[in-house]
A and B are shown apart, each in its own frame.
Chain A
Amino acid sequence: MAVTGLDIYKLLPQTNCADCGVPTCLAFAMKVAAKQAALDDCPHVSEESKEALGTASQPPQKLVTIGSGDSALKIGNETVMFRHEEKFHHPCGIAVLVNDTDDLDAKAAAIKNLFLERMGQNIGVDVVAVRCGSGDGQKLKDAAMKMQAALNLPMVLIAESADKLQAAAEGLAEARPLLWERNGPSDALVELGARTGLPIVVEGDLDKCDGDVQKARQAGIEEMVLCPGEVTPRGALQFLTMSRRAALKRTYRPLGYPVLAYAWSQDPVQLSLEACHYVLKYGSIVVLDEDRPEYVLPVLVARQSVYVDPQVPVQVEAKVHEINEPHDKSPLLVTTNFSLTYYCVLGEVEASRVPTRILTVDTEGTSVLTAWAADKFGPEQIKEAIEKSGVFDQLAEGYQKPVIPGLVAVISGELSEELGRKVIVGPREAGGIRRFFNSEWPTLVGS
């Protein structure tokens, strides 16, 4: 029987201390009931209460933490199969593979190069997977230590057998790496995981994972990550779909863990496409043996896209943004407050080095044409935003001419009438802004 929020509330200290990150015990109880939080997130809950609720209060898919400190990666705890049903909660980790036989400095440099920024967010590679290619556990440890020092990212340690993971696991226990014994876990790995308290990978088909998870749980291991092993993308899709369904729809605990998907394709293009596909369909960590940005970038952008909360518009503040210290003869660009739109424009303006004001009109976070079609970016709204901002007061006579996106050229006449000022139609794509600043803009202002 489902446990209600009220059932859970009765078992809480009811002090509303907010240490759980939720303002009240009742609100926290509701979250636990909705499987969006674990009872353990309340540091004050009694052992008896915990037992009373037992596993019923646990979310259907376990939250697993890899790494420690600021860069720790939290995965799992997902609640839906399709993002519109709620949202995907914990962005998957994207891991680049490093062999302990590689030129480690070069690898670290390549991975550093993959810390990218997009739309004001860091979208870079956020996990390093270090593999014991040498067959020597000591070497794996040295390599892992080196990567840890160079990058300070959560790690997956990979070896063919548990003994080769031991030195690295013990030496780096504080950094909480995920231990992946190929085709594991053997009893030795279970023992190592239990002793060090580190999360482990359980590899195999669903039946094998089912059994091995129960074995590891009995040994005291709580945090695990499933992995379908070396299968085709088709096999992986089946594994990812079925394990997630078993967890979310049947609360089947032995499969209620996040999943690591390894892109096995040899050809880098295919590897990239395979990885994109795992990002969209339920991978919690996606490992790529590839560190060139042209292949990794689409994977990073796919993750950024699919983990956007579909209920919340992705927007920036509606105001005048001052770029490169604008003065009274600087251009005034008008755009929407949709993050994607704003950052496209901002990127071009920054690259141009031209001091500029960008007025973001409140379109409830929608793109230029979407907003225009929905009557949120018409002459009236733009006029109102301009007037409210008082931006014309900062501009010299002859420069009080807003530049609008080329895609809404049709509104220029009406806007110009409303404002009683000339309106300049800019290029259709943000990419044209630099050329526009150099060629057309100077001829259109000043008089």
Chain B
Amino acid sequence: MTKLGTESNPLRVAVIGSGPTAFYATDHLFKQVGLAVEVDMFDRVPTPFGLVRGGVAPDHQKIKTVTKAYTQTAAKPRFRFYGNVEFGRHLKLADLKEHYHAILYASGAQTDRRMGIPGEDLQGSHPATEFVAWYNGHPDYRHLQFDLTPERAAVVGIGNVAIDVARILCRTVDELRTTDIADYALEALSKSHVKEVYLLGRRGPAQAAFTPPEIKEVGEMADADVVVLPEEAQLDPLSQAAVASASDRSVLRNVEILQGYAVRKPTGKSRRLTVRFLVSPVELIGDAAGRVVKMRLVKNRLVASETGSLSAKATDQLEELPVGLVFRSVGYRGVPLPDVPFHEKWGVILNEKGRVIDPESKQPFVGQYTAGWIKRGPSGVIGTNKPDAVETVNCMLEDLAQDKLLLPSQPESRCVEDLVRARQPLFFTFADWLKLDEMEVARGQAQGRPRVKFTSVEEMLAALGR
């Protein structure tokens, strides 16, 4: 047999997941000079782009333009997309090993961390990730119901996802109507009674995980005032010292914006977003029907560890916050993949620089790799996944150079297509996606929206005439 990675014997890579990381990894493979490589990308849902489609907020269309670069990668002749095909269900690890030299897990982080407090599962208490997937029209979450009749809602957490949720709750229907939010979510939100939204941060303004554009944006909403309590906007001496010497200007910028909000007078808008600091929910309290009606909060203070990192320590001061709706957004978390070793506590695949590690021998498994959030945990912006994916692919290329990849018995794309057809006849190709995309955009144009999404597999099949 000729050398692997040549025209007559191309390197074959299976990529699980089709979010930004999957495309950055694929792009880096295709860019290798003198390497013939075929990439087959699989996704559980029919459409590509992962959290860019299903996570990035509908009123952040600019961020979604990254998909243009991914679409260029997908146009390469040796690229194939198989949507609606689930790893572990339609195709197992053993199947992939028969057809590929390398397997790359880039399945991301789809679920959330729990708060671990009493009352967390009362009616009206939800993971923010489910609400986000719901308003973004993710096929697995479209059936969810959110009771938006309570007037007061709390979002626990203070990262960009928490801000997204709070912002969507505070937007007017007119603001949302110009986005690609799912139609059913637009309908439900148009009837929302929510007037008062709290964002609850465990630590102070200098430790907030959101980025300056996101916190600035909530000060510019059409019909919602933003409130920060002056006493909570003040920095404690530890935070002051940290901000003064911080190399990252965004921390200082966040603090400045928040302190600006603290001296703003409410302008009588009909909704209000209150950003709170140094508080942690300790319990959700329900009524007789099991619906959340209030939340008990403990006031925190900051303490420095040996390394200078500031953490929240509970005081004995408690307060109660009447809320009928709670979204927890205390971190995304990866979901284990069948037959792939997983670090339960951290929610990532066991790996070393992206090589999947056998927990027994502590050595890498041949031909198995991981990248993105399922490799390092949820951190950074979309582009952070590029250097991460490059690191992993470079490990794969090193292993290729040393002949340390899988030896598939049928390294042919035709065999994979036959197998997928047999296991999941309702698979979607990239050409299918391009047609759906065009139809979504056309439907949107008629309404002055970026697109109107198809949100169920049945709808997508029908649109494609299948």
Q: Do A and B bind each other?
A: no
- B interface residues, Cβ below 8 angstroms from A: none
